[in-house]
Chain A
Amino acid sequence: MTKKTGDEPTVDLLINGVKVRAEPHMTIVEAAWAGGVPRITGASCLEGVCGSCRILLRRGQEVSVALACETFAEQGVETLFLPPPSAPRHQYELSDFKDGWDIQARFQEIFPEADRCRHCHGCVQSCPKGIAVEDGVALAAAGRFREAGEAFFECVMCELCDSACPEQIAPAHVGLFSRRITAFFHLRPPNLIHRLEELRQEPFSGSNNPAPLPGSDEKESS
């Protein structure tokens, strides 16, 4: 509990073009509220997991991106809440995958840009969670989806890497694809499978015998 609060001097900063006086222990979101910045629509969890409160941040000549709920007010910074990103361009549904052997081929069809990384490091610099985004993309492009997905474990869907990518690789979605496809094809836990099998043979009938959830035993081809 080393973060001291209370008697520090106030700081002046700019949020969405509005001059704000705040206390340095405040996050940019709190400073925006305190300073009367018109409604902040891009903020939600306030604890760094939803990825909504994307900001551009200027300190002197240096401009970077961050999450407002994890960035503190400081003297002289300029910040701007970025609008939500546009919808992703890469389309796929997991249910289209019939077979695990063609994952890599399908991946290349869905994300053709992924092996065109020019190694500008923009995604890595953008990531508020310190993910090695470039390495993760390279792993996915090489078909190593489990490792790629693990690289994106802390991804909070802010999609700042997508905005930063000049090749339009959409690294966040490459990461999510990698995680999802790994679960979809490889997560087959024996204890769960055993209980499902028991329930298939003898469906659970609670006190009032409700209908079991339809479709929970639907056919899977994988």
Chain B
Amino acid sequence: MTESLNANLLHPQQRVGDNMARWREAGGGDALRIAAQDPPAVLTAIKDADLRGLGGSGFPVWRKWEAVANEAPRPDKYLVCNGNEDEPGTFKDRLLLQETPHQVIEGALLAALATGVNRIVFYINPDLTRALAALQAALGQWQGSDMLQQAGKALGRPITMELKPSSGHYIGGEETAALEWIEGKFPFPRGKPPYPAQDGAHGCPTLINNVETLANVPAIVRHGADWFRRQGIGKATGGKLYSLSGDVLHPGVYELPMGTTLHDLVLVHGGGLLSGKPLKAVFTGGPSNTLLTPADLDVGLDFDSLRERGASLGTGAMIVVSEGTGIVKQVAEYVRFFAHSSCGQCVSCKTGTATLSLLIDRIDTGRGTAADLATLESLYRMLPGSGRCHLVNGVAQLLDSSFRHFRHEYEQALK
């Protein structure tokens, strides 16, 4: 089990910070050389590898790539490397940027070659100061480098790379919101369609991928799709960075085979729960997802297995709650976060989440009544599907699942 831990992206040889020489010693840059010979093969490789969007969507990456590859530049094509990482409980992208920035940059260049992109924007949360500094230093070493020039030659036009601190708003992580910010506007999510692949940054075809997604590309190019598929457990392919936090002995980022069970992540790698208490629940992903419970300890933590349980892997964040921690307070915290993060464009989302937060806070602090609880329940049921982006759906899902499993805790909290 432990031999599969931190085997690839976070392999000690990769964790060299912005030191380009050491990174190249460990094979850094090889993938770019391979891809320069046959850029379209990169797309085939990630398709065969079944690489998924690791920012939370789980969407097959090749589909977006193909869509962008099929568009003509107008006059440019953009790639946005999304490092806005702001969800509670998620802290993997910052680690990649901090410790293996060159790997991320190489992944981005590979994606650019495969899709015909000539402008790459690294869109990074400004609160992640160490990640920003490392990436900036790393990018400095790439500017004017022969590797970048060769990539430009392979593409047929120069490739520019730019570091763009994001607004720091949670909602700025939504891909169309990122485009707005890149265009110099407030990061409001756009309505879809048009999709970014057709009409993205400054009206150009735009590919948006998460940091972790792009970081996986060099290894796929170097070792092949079959190798990548073997890294996963069962039908799942590749590895995953799980952000483990909450009431566990060893919180942290764990790179493990995609499909590792909840049991192994929490009880083996995480060292079990604090004070030997039993597991109560796990908030996954954003954490705007369905809760996992002890009945789900056997579930493989990959997109498809979790979907079968009506849950979602999200960003791979697992926030563990043991007996002795109140669910209502936890949920209240997350609802407050999302209410605060709602951008304001959709009244249903902003007023809806703000009201949900007001009600659950009241219940959590012992001031709630049975009428408040009934209102809370009716309200979250009315909201899904009413927003431009998925924020409001996520909050509703979180509440729904907490009610499904822990209604008694809400009732106990009433005055």
Contact A78 B345 (CB under 8 A): no
The 8 nearest A-B residue pairs measured at CB:
A63-B348, A120-B344, A166-B344, A63-B386, A17-B378, A122-B344, A163-B351, A118-B186
- Chain A: residues with Cβ within 8 Å of the partner, total of 31
Q: Which of B342, B348, B371 contacts A166 (CB 8 A)?
A: B342
A126 at the interface (CB under 8 A from B): yes
Which of A5-13, A80-88, A182-190 is found at the contact surface with chain B?
A80-88
Contact A61 B188 (CB under 8 A): no
Chain A residues with CB under 8 Å of B355's CB are 56, 82-83, 163
Give the distance in Å from the alpha carbon of A195 to the alpha carbon of B386 in the complex: 58
Contact B344 A64 (CB under 8 A): no
Q: Which of B345, B358, B359, B381 contacts A122 (CB 8 A)?
A: B345
Contact A80 B342 (CB under 8 A): no
A62 at the interface (CB under 8 A from B): yes
Give the distance in Å from the alpha carbon of A52 to the alpha carbon of B377 in the complex: 21
Contact A58 B351 (CB under 8 A): no
Chain A residues with CB under 8 Å of B188's CB are 118, 120
Contact A165 B344 (CB under 8 A): yes
Give the distance in Å from the alpha carbon of A41 to the alpha carbon of B218 in the complex: 61
Complex interface bits, B336-348 against A, C-beta within 8 A gives 1, otherwise 0: 0000001111111
B379 CB → nearest A CB, Å: 6
Give the distance in Å from the alpha carbon of A119 to the alpha carbon of B180 in the complex: 13
Contact B377 A63 (CB under 8 A): no
18 more CB-based (< 8 A) A-B contacts, given A16-B375, A80-B378: A16-B374, A56-B352, A58-B386, A62-B348, A62-B386, A63-B346, A63-B382, A64-B348, A80-B375, A81-B375, A83-B358, A83-B359, A118-B344, A119-B186, A120-B186, A120-B345, A120-B350, A125-B347
* Chain A residue, CB-CB nearest to B359: A83
A125-154 residues at the B interface, CB under 8 angstroms: 125-126
Give the distance in Å from the alpha carbon of A166 to the alpha carbon of B172 in the complex: 14
Complex interface bits, A43-63 against B, C-beta within 8 A gives 1, otherwise 0: 000000000000010100111
Contact A126 B347 (CB under 8 A): yes
B354 at the interface (CB under 8 A from A): yes
Contact B345 A163 (CB under 8 A): no
B372 at the interface (CB under 8 A from A): yes
